[in-house]
Structures are given as C-alpha cells and as structure tokens.
Structure 1
Amino acid sequence: MSAQPHQLARRLGTADAVVVGLGSMIGAGVFVAFAPAARVAGSGLLLGLAVAAVVAYCNATSSARLAARYPASGGTYVYGRERLGPFWGYLAGWGFVVGKTASCAAMALTVVVYAAPGLGQPWRSLLAVLVVAALTGLNYRGVQRSARATAVLVTVSLLVLAAAVTAMVVAGDLSTQRLAPFPKTSPLGVLEAAGLLFFAFAGYARIATLGEEVRDPARTIPRAIPIALGIVLAVYAVLAVVLLLQLGPAALATTADPVAQAVAGTGWSGLVPAVRAGAALAALGALLALVLGVSRTVFAMARDGHLPRPLAAVHPRFAVPHRAELAVGVAVAILVSFADLRGTIGFSAFAVLTYYAIANASAWTLGGNRIVPAIGLAGCTLLAFSLPLSSVVTGAGVLVAGAAAYALRRRTHS
C-alpha cells in the first residue's frame, strides 16, 4: 500500500492507538513527574493528581471531538487552524513541537540514567544519542513497527509496576503516619504539582497527532483517547498512594528513582534491578511515542509551509514522514548533550498546557455541550501559570519567539 507524496497511510487500529497513548504516558509520569510534584505539594500530591486528571479528561474529551471532525495529522495544530484561524493553529503546533522535543531529550536521558546509573559524561550523552538514533530508525521503518515495539515496552513496564506495587503491599511497610502535613503543602503547591503532573498525562495527544494513520478515525480516536487516559489514571493513582505510604512525601520528593527506592525498602528488595530495567523500558516507550507524535506535527506544519516544505515528504515504501522523523531525531540528539531532566518538565508542561488551551477553545466553537471545553480552558490556563516562574518565563518566551517568526513569515510572503 503506497501513500501520496504528502499523504500518510491508515494502518493503525484502536488497540494500536491505545498502546501509543499508554507508551507516551507511563514512562513520563511514573518515573519522572512524581518527585518534583511531591517536592511542592507533599501529601497534597494526591489532590494535585486529581486536579491534573480532571483537566486531562476535559482536554481528552475536547481532543476526541475535534479528531472525529478533523482526522488529519497534527492534532491541535489542525484543530486551531480550522476553528480559530491560522495563527492559533500555528501557535499550538509550535508549542507542541518545542515542548515535546525537549521532553524527548529528557526521556532519552531517563533511559540512560536508569539503564546505566553510574555512567558519567560524556558517555551518558553519547549513549542517549545512540538511543535516539535507534528509535528514529525504528520509526523510519513504519508506524506499525513502532506501534508493535511500543506494545512490547508498555506490557513489560506494566508488569514491572504491578510487581513493584505487590512488593510494597505484601512485603513493604505501608503507614498512614507518613502522610503527616508537609511543610510546603498549600493550595498553590497543589496547583503547581497538578501542573507538573499534567506532564504525565499529556501523552494521549500522540493519538490525535496520528489522525492520518488511524483506520476509521472518527470512531477509533474518540474511543482510544479515553481508554488510554483511564488506564493511566488508574496506574498513577495506585502508585501515588503506595509510594506515599511506603516512602512518605519528604523521601518521595528527594529521590530520583522513587519506585526502585520504595521496593528496596521491602522484603522483596531483589526486585530492584527489574524495577530499574522496567523504568528504562517505560522511558524508552515514552520516547518512541514522543518522537512519533512530534514528527507528525512537524510534517503537518511543513505541509502548510510553516516549516521547511521538504519536511513534508512521505517515504514511498514505508509511508511515513521520514524527513520530519530524521529532523526531530537530530534535534533531540543535539538537545541530550545539555538538557536537564527535571527542568524540561515545567517547560514542557507550560507549552503543552498552551496547546490544550487552544484545543479547548477550538472545541468550544463546535457548539453543543460547552461545559467541558470551558473547564478545560480555564484549567489549562490556571495550571500553566501555577508552574515555577522559570518554566512560565521560558515557556512564554519560546511561544513569543514562535509568534514573532510567524509574523515575520506573513510579512515577507504578503
């Protein structure tokens, strides 16, 4: 089956789409976002998780409605363009590309940190570059191969997490006394934690960005998004509870590997190497799905002329946007040499919350029930500006730079 020069082939079913969403979220949330969220909210982490889940539900509902109407690659880049105008679509796409490219770098470094914890620079960056190159090569070979690989990684990760939870429940020392008031717990801390934890839920966007490669998208995407989000929410909620009961908010806030540390304190400490391996695989799955989604948004923006048009080429054999995939892979490989794992979380969250704010505003224009997109828009705005000041300033600066580039392009082409 061949695709047109600027058209992708529809090869993914509902199960494939769900797996892509799961792969994007599991690695990002469980092993990366919990510690910084606990640092600002303590035991209020659970409330922050609930707030993030409500906003994510609204965003998912709005995205599903829009994806059914506009089943094309690019996600909110397409929805904003069609419902609000070219600038808002461009701003959504720009925010997604820069925010998620930084997240790709963070996930690549996470793989290396868990797989080879004692490795120093420059070997850590070199190994991260090799990881990015391998996954870019896998994506290049076709979206179905990527989906199958993600399915394997997600399955292994979920099995390891299930074993970790079992170890804490059966052989651990769970105690509600560890949930004592945390010095930094406050309403603002909870909102900041919710903003950071939103980073962990944002992976379902990958399902929408694959709209041109999903069979029967009007039916498949609205089904896949809530399924993936529901599974991840259940996993996150269970893990958050047992981690707080096993470690306590103070210890959770200061450890870079909370799941492994929690298991190390149980009678089943022999599982720690498996947990570390599971963490590396989960981050690998998240990176695979992230590169997949970012390249599709780059493809859509290039097809419309907002990025270099050669990036809109589709491989004649594999039916994938191969030049966009290579460009994203190169950008991520460059970033891993200086990216900060925790610093990228806030920046990515701000950029993606902007992306979803535009998605909710776009869904508002569809009519019908406007309560969900209204809550989603308000929630995205509130959480975005509740993030650490450095994340807000950096994120806003990058969005302004993108808007300036858009204005310059419009002026030179008018």
Structure 2
Amino acid sequence: MKAESKGQHVGKVTHHELKQTLGTWQLWGIAVGLVISGEYFGWSYGWASAGTLGFVITALFIAAMYTTFIFSFTELTTSIPHAGGPFAYARQAFGPTGGYIAGAATLVEFVFAPPAIALAIGAYLHVQFPALEPKHAAMGAYLIFMALNIVGVQIAAAFELCVTLLAIFELLVFMGVVSPGFELSNFTKGGWSGADHFSLGSFSGMFAAIPFAIWFFLAIEGVAMAAEEAKDPKRSIPIAYIAGILTLVALAIGVMVFAGAAGDWTKLANINDPLPQAMKFIVGANSGWMHMLVWLGLFGLVASFHGIILGYSRQIFALARAGYLPEWLSKVHPRFKTPHRAIIAGGVVGIAAIYSDELIQFGGQTLTANIVTMSVFGAIVMYIISMMSLFKLRRTQPGMERPFRAPLFPLFPAFALVTAVISLGTMVYFNFLVAVVFAIFLALGYVYFLSTRRQRAVAPVDALLED
C-alpha cells in the first residue's frame, strides 16, 4: 500500500512541474476571488427555505465552521504545500483510498461550482442584453477564461487580484447605493420561513438552507491548490487564508442585510441576480447606478469563475500526476507551464452541465440550485476528511514540520469536523436526490480507482510526499 501511494520512479520530470511565481497578495486575491461570487448570487436561495432571520442564524453557524476550518486547514496546507491540496493530505494520512475520497470530493466541488457561476454571468449579461441567451453567454465565459488560465498562472493571478479588488469595491458601492432605503422592518418581515415568528418549520428551514450558506464561503480552500506555485507558501498562505476569511465574513453579512432591507426580499429569493434586483427597489430599472452594478457585478462573478478554473485544473493535474486519473491530463504546456489539458477537461464537463437541464433540474429545484448543492456535497465531504487527516497526522507524524499550527487544537478542528458532519447529514435529508447522484459519482470513480492500481504504482514519485 505504501509503495502504491509513492510510486516506483524516483524524482520528477519536467512535464509534471509547476512554476513558483505567486506572492502573498496574489494568494489573498485568489482566496477572496475564489469565493466572492457567493456574495453576488446563490445565497438568496437560502431565504426561500429559512427566511431572512432564519438564514442569518444558518449563515453565522456556517461562518463559524469556515473560520475554524480555515485556521485548521492552514496547518495542512503549510505542512504539505501540494497542488492536490486535500487529496495530498488525505493520501498521506489514510493512504490511496483516503486520497481518492478527498480527491474525488474536491473534484466534484470545483468542477460543479463554475457552471453555476457561469449561469449567473449569463443572467447578469441578459439584464443588459435581453436577446442574449444566458447559456450561450455562460459557454463564452468558459472559453475566454480557460484560455486566460492556459496562458500563465502569473498573468491569471494578477488578473484575479485586480478583478477581486474591483468586486469588493462594487459590493461596497451596492451597500452605499441601497442604504438610503434601508428599513430593518423589510428585512424582518416574514423572516422566519415566511412567518413573523419562530416555529418548528423555521428550525427545519434553517437546516434546509445550509448549502446556500456554504455558498457564501465555498472554495476558499482552493488556495491550497496553488501552494506549489507560491514563492513562500509557509509564510504567505496563512496570511492569505486568514485575511481572506475575515474579508468574506464581513462582506457576506453586509450584502445579505442591505439587500434584504432594501425592499420585498421574497422577490429576491429564487433568482440568479439578487443584487441588481435589490437595487431596483431603490433606484429603479433605468438608473445609471443600476447599469453600473450589472457591469461591475460581473467582476465578482468573473473573479470566482476564473479562480475556480485555476483550482479545478490543479486538482485534475495532481490526481492525474499521482495516477488517479489518466496520465495525459498531468501534462503541462511546454511554453506556459500550465496544466492546459486539465483546464480543458474540466471546462468540457462544466459546459455539458450548463446545457443539461433535463438531467440536473430535478427534485423541485432550479438548475442552478442543484448545481450549487452538488458542489457543496463535494466540499463538505472534503472538509470532513481533511479534518480527520489533521487529527491522524498529529497522532502518527508528530515530528512533521508544521510552520503554522491550528490554534486551540483540538477545539478548532473538532468544531469544524462536527459542524461539517451535521451539515452533511442535513443536506442528505433535504436533498436526497442530489445526494444519490453525488454517491453515484463517487461509486463510479471508485470502480475506476480499483481498476487502475498499476497506473498509480508507476506514477512519478511526489517529492513533497516522501518520508
């Protein structure tokens, strides 16, 4: 088993190497940019289940989970700075099977998040150009940003930092523009699952809304997949992670409260562009502010879309390099030194998801809601096995170099683990059909995993995972 996890060849070959070019600010830009589209759309579906007040409680619960998770996850990222991220940590802790579970779950998270974001980009563009089919615009976004990621990680990261800063600025502008119409009574009216008072139904709605609260923060852990391309990962990644989660928590609370207090929040609960529609309550449909929000709002969506393409490509690359996926997916471009085949492969799956209404739109949920939920299932499973890996490695490898140690250990990782398990259980209960599809994906992948043991045995040794 140990031989399988390490391979039989010594050293690395050049077509499996990534360039180390990323600094602290660029990593912070990736951390926030990966997630910031979650402030623009997706979360408002949680209002349909929990109401505004119920969703506040759900969001704070999930924010606590993410805060403790990131402080704990950073220990793993700095100890094992590997493009596979969670896959590498679980493989070191639990062997090849653990690596498969973490890698497959992360792949589902990062491959299914971009189509949801691309559909939101299409919805925003449709506001400006009603004749433009949102799905076609979403496919166009894929083609453009796949190409940008192929050109080079430094260019991609610089672009990510710029659009992330613009996205943050735009969210602050949104809050400023709607603030004159801020009425707390708008936010609290029917705030408990459509009622003015808490009930058992409100409690159920808060649990049902968990996937959409997770969407506020989903994919911040993707910075781990850029660890091999960081100049000084042991110093820069902790700064990027901690500053990133604090930035995102502040923005999530601000956007949610200001949007809900601007008017009738029930009109925002099941749409892909809640912020422009919230601004309509204050400035009208033809205001220059409205048009500015739509255009600037694209920066937030683009930041996450572009960043997650970077994340899924590194995950595919790392899994292929270790023999968990076909080896040809691990090749890097001879000129740009980027995993171009992995970028294209993930894009093909995402574009297929965009045009698969009949396959993905089921269980009474919209296409976007089901894609979001599928991505969240992958994330939660990955969070669970990552925290289990942290505990296992603390016990079995106490001498491992740990440049950053999880604070308040074991309380922080234990809280993150328990809340993730609770989240997974409630998600299965409220989204059973999506859970079945997710389980089928993992089962099919496991069959491939069992049939490719020799492929992993001859994969190049990963120097970062050597004893």
By how many angstroms is 1:49 displaced?
1.0
Change (3 A) 1:62 1:89: farther
Alpha-carbon separation, structure 1, partners of 2:215 and 2:444: 22
Are the equivalent residues in 2 in contact too, given 1:168–1:266 (CA < 8 A)? yes
Over the aligned positions, Cα root-mean-square deviation in angstroms equals: 2.2
Alpha-carbon separation, structure 2, partners of 1:34 and 1:98: 19
Change (3 A) 1:316 1:183: closer
Matches within 5 A, 1:64-79: 64-79=74-89
By how many angstroms is 1:228 displaced?
0.8
By how many angstroms is 1:254 displaced?
3.8
Who is 2:177 aligned against? 167
* Residue 30 of structure 2 is aligned to residue 20 of structure 1: yes
Q: Deviations over 1:14-72 (max 9, x none)?
A: 11011011111111x12222221111110211111111111111221222100111011
Q: Which amino acid aligns with 1:132?
A: Y
Alpha-carbon separation, structure 2, partners of 1:375 and 1:207: 22
Alpha-carbon separation, structure 2, partners of 1:413 and 1:93: 14
In structure 1, stretches of 5+ residues that fail to align are: none
Who is 1:44 aligned against? 54
Change (3 A) 1:343 1:325: same
Who is 2:414 aligned against? 374
Who is 2:111 aligned against? 101
Q: Which amino acid aligns with 1:50?
A: L
Alpha-carbon separation, structure 2, partners of 1:78 and 1:304: 10
Residue from 268, 272, 282 that aligns with 2:290: 272
Who is 2:162 aligned against? 152
Q: Which amino acid aligns with 1:382?
A: I
Are the equivalent residues in 2 in contact too, given 1:35–1:253 (CA < 8 A)? yes
Q: Which amino acid aligns with 1:274?
A: M
Matches within 5 A, 1:15-414: 15-27=25-37, 29-42=38-51, 43-117=53-127, 119=130, 123-169=133-179, 171-176=180-185, 178-180=187-189, 181-183=191-193, 186-267=202-283, 269-338=287-356, 340-367=367-394, 369-387=409-427, 388-410=431-453
Q: Which amino acid aligns with 2:173?
A: A
By how many angstroms is 1:391 displaced?
2.8
By how many angstroms is 1:119 displaced?
4.8
Change (3 A) 1:413 1:34: closer
Aligned residue-pair number: 409
Are the equivalent residues in 2 in contact too, given 1:138–1:146 (CA < 8 A)? yes
Are the equivalent residues in 2 in contact too, given 1:182–1:249 (CA < 8 A)? no
Are the equivalent residues in 2 in contact too, given 1:199–1:348 (CA < 8 A)? no
Q: Which amino acid aligns with 1:162?
A: L
Alpha-carbon separation, structure 1, partners of 2:21 and 2:298: 28
In structure 2, stretches of 5+ residues that fail to align are: 1-12, 195-200, 358-366, 395-405, 458-467
Change (3 A) 1:177 1:205: closer
Are the equivalent residues in 1 in contact too, given 2:47–2:193 (CA < 8 A)? no
Q: Which amino acid aligns with 1:252?
A: L
Are the equivalent residues in 1 in contact too, given 2:324–2:456 (CA < 8 A)? no
SS in 2 for 1:202: coil
Change (3 A) 1:82 1:166: same
Change (3 A) 1:165 1:413: closer
Give percent identity, aligned residues only: 25
SS in 2 for 1:307: coil
By how many angstroms is 1:177 displaced?
5.3
User: Looking at CA atoms only, which structure, 1 or 2, has the larger radius of gyration?
Assistant: 2
By how many angstroms is 1:249 displaced?
4.5
Are the equivalent residues in 2 in contact too, given 1:384–1:392 (CA < 8 A)? no
Stretch of structure 1 that moved more, 78-87 or 402-411: 402-411
Q: What TM-score, normalized by structure 1, do the two folds share? A: 0.92
Alpha-carbon separation, structure 2, partners of 1:257 and 1:281: 13
SS in 2 for 1:149: helix
Alpha-carbon separation, structure 2, partners of 1:109 and 1:304: 32
Alpha-carbon separation, structure 1, partners of 2:141 and 2:31: 20
Change (3 A) 1:35 1:224: same
Are the equivalent residues in 2 in contact too, given 1:100–1:290 (CA < 8 A)? yes
Change (3 A) 1:280 1:46: same
Are the equivalent residues in 2 in contact too, given 1:74–1:301 (CA < 8 A)? yes
Q: Deviations over 1:78-103 (max 9, x none)?
A: 11001122111111111121232121
Alpha-carbon separation, structure 1, partners of 2:155 and 2:43: 31
Are the equivalent residues in 1 in contact too, given 2:21–2:229 (CA < 8 A)? yes
SS in 2 for 1:316: coil
Change (3 A) 1:310 1:256: closer
Stretch of structure 1 that moved more, 283-292 or 376-385: 376-385
By how many angstroms is 1:413 displaced?
8.3
Are the equivalent residues in 2 in contact too, given 1:132–1:329 (CA < 8 A)? yes
Alpha-carbon separation, structure 2, partners of 1:266 and 1:300: 48
Who is 2:3 aligned against? none
Change (3 A) 1:413 1:285: closer
